């Protein structure tokens, strides 16, 4: 029987991290999660790994395999060259709980801040009508299994490089599904700009690349939302038109999101040291608040054509 | 020839191998014929028994299953109707199910049985304890049909939530919790962490899985079930020796030490209930009692209870009478 060699991240916050190494017997069709289960059952019963369905539908077993964010239940051992060691680590954008488990609860806080589906108050459900193509469009966003791999890979979240919060790709996907729902009557553009920090995304498309559900996150969710925000807040003609009509720009943004806490650095030796951020400008002067890498939403949409 | 077909649906399917082959041949060519299709799309208990029998009689696939082929359908239709299945076979096994057959085999279907609850509120027989979903018993009879667990969750999840909320509103005061019982439970839970050496909970789980797979599987027979009860007892006797290493934070070995006790209780309940029910019904198939015994067992539910001394009591109770409004929906066929 052939074997694979696994290097598995172990440790708790405040503890010296280490990589434990295991030789795991391989059977046809095995995935990384199977190898971790073998380790739990035969070598390290206290190895912490979060998992549930083993069918790439629950989004629990997210981690980093040889540095790449992946679902461990969907990563085949046969994808690695024979003899190549496989390094398994937790998602490094989030605080460490223990071993391969990270604390993703920040995401649930962000989720709560998004205004839920809001049908028009004066139209009973029996009168809702929408087209098949609208159903198919929003269906793509609903494929999300909340594995948070897109949040993990996103450099804005991973490097903790902003001084105001960024909701991250997963929640831009959810918002896109609501904003493009033909029955939904809410307007989340002010929220996206001021609370969600949509301008922080500079469309590197890493999120799309790691999505196990193959959602075209950047092209189909983030860019259309950026266009809507840019139209509302950065289009000079719209601005002049609103002035003439005396109508303000899209509504109240809501309360600020919590910042994502970093992973415990002592337990994350492979992360580069965090560069010192300049002191955040005062909250009363939003027009000078331009943290690194933040690009103007209007410029981006223009460059995308 | 199709011995696993329900009698009332027999007419819908091919009567002979030859007719089935003619149907498959013409369907694969995109043509219609007067042949009826083979009975692949039956209820899960039938399909599971059929696969099991095919494999045991030496007609299985290389990996011990059978072939399921939907590649005669238009590829676009398969990808649209079964997107996850298409992806999973493609990504995990390099099998394109729009182009050729896939290998399939039976796994655990569903726990048809569970905590006895009141249908309106989800209340169990323990005051303040509510249950809904697969853990609650009685909803699906002897065989849950595909799609019904989702409706179960939506309907009884809502009822149970409302039931639990109403109960909580009526019992605002903090209940008395016996501190001695709490301390005992905490000590018992912590014991495996404190033992230096002992049994690995993963070993107990593996042994229990092997026993249940071998002796309480798709087909059951009295001797096997009795043997399983003995084996479960032997595994239970190893519980006091469980030892796990590591701390209290996200320790799966410690978690399993707790879960394996529950697994033993559920396994024993399943086995004793299967032994008690001397008939075949739904997903429960007794080789020594292959017929459904409507006269003896119709209208009787199995009940599993904990005796004062902690041992398991298995008996039966009368099936509740169907409410009139439900009976009238089913054409007045209440019994």
User: What was the ipTM of the complex prediction?
Assistant: 0.83
Query: By mean pLDDT, which of A182-186, A284-288, B42-46, B171-175 is the weakest?
Result: A284-288
Quote the CA–CA distance of B245 and B88 in Å, as a whole number: 36
Q: Where are the domains of chain A?
A: 3-102, 114-256+275-304
Listed residue (B311, B333, B313) closest to B324, CA to CA? B333
Structure tokens at B231: 């084996």
Q: What are phi and psi of A244, to 5 degrees?
A: -60, -40
Task: Indicate the CATH number for domain A114-256+275-304.
Answer: 1.10.1060.10
Quote the CA–CA distance of B116 and B126 in Å, as a whole number: 10
A76/B92 touch (CB, cutoff 8 Å), yes or no: yes
Please give the average per-residue pLDDT across A256-271, as a whole number: 61
pLDDT band at B147 (very low <50, low <70, confident <90, very high): confident
Please give the average per-residue pLDDT across A28-57, as a whole number: 95
Residues 6 or more apart in contact with residue A76 via CB below 8 angstroms: A29, A30, A31, A32, B92
pLDDT at residue A267 tops 70:
no
* Catalytic residue selected from B22, B36, B44, B79: B44
Q: Which fold has domain B178-298?
A: Methane Monooxygenase Hydroxylase; Chain G, domain 1 (1.20.58)
Tokens 């230096």, located at residue: B196
CB A159 within 8 A of CB A129: no
**What's chain B's average pLDDT?**
90
Domain with CATH 3.90.700.10 in chain B: 7-104
pLDDT, position B32: 83
pLDDT, position B6: 63
Residue of A nearest to B204 (CA): A41
pLDDT band at A94 (very low <50, low <70, confident <90, very high): very high
Instruction: List residues of B whose CB lies inside 8 A of any A CB.
Output: 84, 87-88, 91-93, 200-202, 206, 244-247, 249-254, 256
pLDDT, position A293: 42
pLDDT, position A276: 39
Question: Which has the higher per-residue pLDDT, A188 or A291?
Answer: A188
pLDDT at residue B266 tops 90:
yes
Please give the average per-residue pLDDT across A35-40, as a whole number: 97
Quote the CA–CA distance of B325 and A238 in Å, as a whole number: 60
Q: What is the largest CA-CA distance in chain B?
A: 74
Domain with CATH 1.20.58.100 in chain B: 178-298
Shortest distance between the Cα of A155 and any Cα of chain B, in A, equals 27
DSSP bridge pairs for B317: B301
CB A100 within 8 A of CB A51: no
Tokens 């229990």, located at residue: B208
Interface probe with A: pick from B207, B252, B256, B260, most Cβ of A within 10 Å: B252
Q: In this complex, which of B92, B206, B246 lies closest to A46 when CB atoms are compared?
A: B246
Q: Where are the beta strands (DSSP E) in A86-197?
A: 86-89, 96-98, 101-102
pLDDT, position A132: 92
Within chain B, residue ranges assigned H as helices are 17-28, 44-54, 75-81, 83-93, 148-170, 179-194, 201-215, 222-236, 252-276, 294-297, 324-329
Q: Which CATH architecture has domain A3-102?
A: Roll (3.10)
Query: By mean pLDDT, which of A135-139, A276-280, B159-163 is the weakest?
Result: A276-280
Quote the CA–CA distance of B261 and B244 in Å, as a whole number: 15
Same topology between domain A3-102 and domain A114-256+275-304: no
pLDDT at residue B29 tops 90:
no
**Helices B252-276 & B201-215 angle (0-180, nearest 10):** 20
Residue B44 a catalytic site member: yes
Query: By mean pLDDT, which of A40-49, A64-73, A279-288, B323-332 is the weakest?
Result: A279-288
Q: Which fold has domain B7-104?
A: Flavocytochrome C3; Chain A, domain 1 (3.90.700)
Q: In this complex, which of B91, B206, B250 lies closest to A41 when CB atoms are compared?
A: B206
Quote the CA–CA distance of A235 and A301 in Å, as a whole number: 11
């Amino acid at each position: 029987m052939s074997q694979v060699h696994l290097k598995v991240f172990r440790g708790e916050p405040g503890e010296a991290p280490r990589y434990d190494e295991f030789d795991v017997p391989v059977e046809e069709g095995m995935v990384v999660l199977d190898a971790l289960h073998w380790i739990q059952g035969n070598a390290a019963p206290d190895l912490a790994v979060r998992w549930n369905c083993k069918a790439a539908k629950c989004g629990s077993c997210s981690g980093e395999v040889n540095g790449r964010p992946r679902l461990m239940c969907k990563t085949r051992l046969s994808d690695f060259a024979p003899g190549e060691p496989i390094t398994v680590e937790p998602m490094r954008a989030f605080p460490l709980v223990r071993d391969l488990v990270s604390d993703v609860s920040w995401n649930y806080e962000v989720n709560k801040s998004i205004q839920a589906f809001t049908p028009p108050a004066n139209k009973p459900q029996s009168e809702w009508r929408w087209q098949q193509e609208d159903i198919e469009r929003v269906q793509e966003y609903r494929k999300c299994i909340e594995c948070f791999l897109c949040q993990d890979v996103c450099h804005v979240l991973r490097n903790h490089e902003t001084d105001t919060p960024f909701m991250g790709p997963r929640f831009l996907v959810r918002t896109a599904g609501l904003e493009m729902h033909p029955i939904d009557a809410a307007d989340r553009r002010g929220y996206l700009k001021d609370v969600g920090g949509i301008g922080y995304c500079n469309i590197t498309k890493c999120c799309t690349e790691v999505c196990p559900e193959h959602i075209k996150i950047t092209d189909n969710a983030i860019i259309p939302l950026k266009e809507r925000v840019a139209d509302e807040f950065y289009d000079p003609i719209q601005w002049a038109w609103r002035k003439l009509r005396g109508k303000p720009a899209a509504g109240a943004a809501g309360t600020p999101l919590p910042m994502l806490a970093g992973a415990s650095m002592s337990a994350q030796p492979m992360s580069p040291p965090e560069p010192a951020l300049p002191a955040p400008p005062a909250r009363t002067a939003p027009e000078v608040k331009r943290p690194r890498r933040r690009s103007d939403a209007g410029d981006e949409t223009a460059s995308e054509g | 020839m199709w011995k696993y077909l329900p009698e009332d649906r027999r007419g819908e399917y091919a009567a002979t191998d030859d007719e089935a082959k003619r149907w498959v041949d013409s369907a694969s060519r995109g043509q219609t014929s007067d042949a009826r299709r083979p009975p692949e799309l039956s209820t899960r208990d039938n399909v599971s028994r059929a696969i099991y029998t095919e494999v045991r009689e030496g007609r299985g696939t290389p990996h011990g299953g059978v072939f399921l082929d939907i590649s005669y359908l238009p590829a676009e239709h398969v990808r649209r109707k079964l997107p996850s299945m298409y992806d999973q076979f493609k990504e995990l096994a390099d099998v394109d199910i729009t182009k050729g057959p896939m290998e399939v085999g039976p796994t655990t279907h569903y726990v048809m049985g569970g905590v006895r609850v009141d249908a309106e509120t989800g209340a169990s027989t323990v005051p303040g304890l509510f249950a809904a979903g697969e853990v609650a018993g009685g909803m699906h009879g002897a065989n849950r049909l595909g799609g019904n667990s989702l409706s179960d969750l939506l309907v009884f999840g809502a009822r149970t939530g409302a039931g639990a909320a109403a109960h909580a509103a009526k019992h605002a005061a903090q209940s008395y919790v016996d501190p001695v019982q709490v301390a005992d439970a905490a000590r018992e839970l912590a014991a495996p962490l404190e033992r230096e050496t002992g049994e690995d909970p993963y070993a107990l789980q593996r042994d229990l899985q092997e026993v249940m797979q071998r002796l309480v599987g798709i087909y059951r027979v009295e001797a096997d079930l009795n043997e399983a009860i003995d084996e479960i007892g032997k595994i239970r006797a190893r519980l006091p020796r469980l030892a796990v290493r590591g701390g209290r934070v996200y320790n799966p070995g410690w978690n399993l030490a707790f879960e394996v006790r529950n697994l033993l209780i559920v396994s024993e309940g399943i086995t004793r209930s299967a032994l008690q029910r001397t008939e075949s019904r739904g997903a429960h198939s007794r080789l020594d009692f292959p017929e459904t015994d409507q006269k003896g067992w119709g209208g009787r539910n199995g009940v599993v209870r904990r005796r004062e001394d902690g041992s398991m009591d298995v008996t039966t109770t009368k099936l509740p009478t169907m409410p009139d409004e439900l009976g009238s929906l089913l054409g007045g066929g209440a019994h």
